[in-house]
Homo-oligomer: A and B are copies of this chain.
Amino acid sequence: MSQNYCYFNGDILPVQDAHIHISDLGLLRSYAVFDYFRTYKSKPFMLADHLERFRNSAEELRLTLSLTDGEIGSIIDELIHKSEVVDVGIRMVITGGYSLDSMAVSDPNFMIIIEPLPVMAEEVYSKGVSLKTYEFLREVPLIKSTAYLNAIKLQPMKEQYDVWDLLYYFENGVLESPRNNFFIFKHKVLITPKDHILKGVTRKKILELARGVFEVQERKLTLDELWEADEAFISGTTKRIIPVVKIDDRSIGDGEVGECTKELTQLFDEYIEAL
């Protein structure tokens, strides 16, 4: 594996050499938030949006980031420059710091980690994927916290049900996948859940691009509407737009990748190409 670097509390060092003391409140109490984004053509994609969300999440936990956006941007540039591949994933994490009593928040620990980008099979885009619904409401859905215990705990369900991922719902409202936002098309109207979800930066860009072409509705999406959808897809930083053709045992639309989803994917691809 190629050597990647990270920033940790003021130092830049190889990722493999970066350690944190075991009294960290992120480790002992899950008191931490993060953000994750990627580069295109070696430049961070939508960095300003990710930084804004990261600062908001940190602020909700009363954690202060001592660096300016400019300083963080410079560190990221240096880390990317040190990387041996063109495009990478970038994870920023801020924790409650080293705590004497494992409850009191202290000076935050802040790290920026360069990671290899996951590789997606071409087939997921050309054929679409299947999801399984699962009732679950995250404790603090609006904060991008490190709370993924449930998501990881449920991983074996994917194999058990032979699906690509889960789709969380709560009561009769569709929410999101554990790491991705969710959308449907119905009569060429793009609909995506509005509340109790983590608002993805890719979601934001998709809505922006879609508004020029489709009617767009951000609102509560019910389970009943889900079963009547013409098309569906999930979105995310590394996944971009992945068509969903089956949910539980039901086909979405005719069970093929839909035309509106294809059109939106093309818009997104063109936007990326033009960067």
Contacts and interface: CB of A to CB of B under 8 A. Distances in A.
Is the contact region of chain A dominated by helix, strand, or loop, or is it mixed? mixed
Contact of A148 (B16, B30, B101): B30
Interface string A140-175: 100001111111110110000000000000000000
Interface stretch (A19-27, A125-133, A227-235): A19-27
Contact of A103 (B22, B140, B150, B152): B152
B118 A153 contact: no
Interface stretch (A91-99, A209-217, A263-271): A91-99
Contacts of A32: 27, 30, 149
A5 interface: no
Interface-centre pick from A6, A91, A153 (highest chain B CB count, 10 A): A153
A20 B26 CA distance: 12
Given A152-B96, A153-B140, A147 B30 contact: yes
A257 B81 CA distance: 65
A113 interface: yes
A1 to B, nearest CB: 8
Interface in A1-51: 6, 8, 15-16, 18-32, 34
A27 B20 contact: yes
A111 interface: yes
Contacts of A91: 28, 102
Interface-centre pick from A16, A30, A96, A145 (highest chain B CB count, 10 A): A30
Given A18-B22, A24-B27, A153 B61 contact: yes
Contacts of A78: none
Contacts of A151: 29, 103
24 contacts: A8-B22, A18-B22, A19-B19, A19-B20, A20-B21, A20-B22, A20-B27, A24-B27, A26-B27, A27-B32, A28-B93, A29-B146, A29-B149, A29-B152, A30-B32, A30-B145, A31-B153, A60-B153, A61-B149, A96-B152, A102-B115, A136-B139, A140-B149, A145-B149
Which 6 A-B pairs have CB atoms at the shortest separation, nearest pair first?
Answer: A19-B19, A30-B30, A29-B148, A18-B22, A27-B27, A30-B146
